[in-house]
Structure 1
Amino acid sequence: MKKIISAIMICLSFNFNIAKAPQITSNVLTEGVYNVGDIINALGDVKFIQNISPNNTVFFSLLDDNRAAIESIIMKPGSGKFLLTELKPSYKLVILGDGEAFLSR
């Protein structure tokens, strides 16, 4: 019985371990999950994304309110600009990889 209670308590503690979203301080984003509302507040209207890393690939994904993928892009090192779909404040932006994504108007 003690093992079951211990297992339940451990599982509950994992559920309450909430990671904070990274802070937006510049147009350059590294790996992480970002709230589009925070990006819009910090940077204004964003229209384009590009990989500015000379050596690393970046995977970009835009998720809607229901966590469904709206847009996904694999950006090779030093890629050109990609036009984004309209960003809404409730969306999430996911960056994966060792590269850096640059957001612009």
Structure 2
Amino acid sequence: MKKFILLFSISILLLFNLTLSTFAANIFKEGVYKAADFNFESENTYSVQNISQKDNVYVLLFDENQLQMQAIRLGPQSKKYNLLPLKPDYRIVIVGNGDVFID
């Protein structure tokens, strides 16, 4: 019985760590990102959300010709906003001290 409890506890711990690291992989700080670097699929629709407690964030989307396609201002603890469909050459610019979750 002790072995079962130990194995079950270890399994739950590993599952929790795997889920946490998957979630953390989609959190971005201020910077310029290329959509191809994150394996975004062009046929999928993605959304952005500011998950920080007190900081505002601006999310800008540029196409392959550096033309601005979309601009979103996200307040603290914002709701999710849809991004335009992403192509591999698009750039995502995040300005501000907040944390942006993209899914």
TM-score, scaled relative to structure 2: 0.71
Aligned-residue RMSD, C-alpha? 1.4
Alignment of 1:1-105 (within 5 A): 26-40=25-39, 45=44, 47-104=46-103
**Which runs of no fewer than 5 residues in structure 2 stay unpaired?**
1-23
Distance 2:88 2:79 in 1: 25
Q: Where in structure 1 do 4 or more consecutive aligned residues deviate above 3 Å?
A: none
Distance 1:40 1:46 in 2: 13
Q: Deviations over 1:13-57 (max 9, x none)?
A: xxxxxxxxxxxx71000000000011226xxx4511000001000
Aligned length: 77
> Identical aligned pairs, as a percentage?
36
Asked if the contact 1:50–1:102 (Cα under 8 Å) also holds between the matched residues in 2, the reply is: yes
**Which runs of no fewer than 5 residues in structure 1 stay unpaired?**
1-24
Distance 1:55 1:99 in 2: 8
Counterpart secondary structure, 2:77: coil
TM-score, scaled relative to structure 1: 0.69
Letter in 1 for 2:61: L
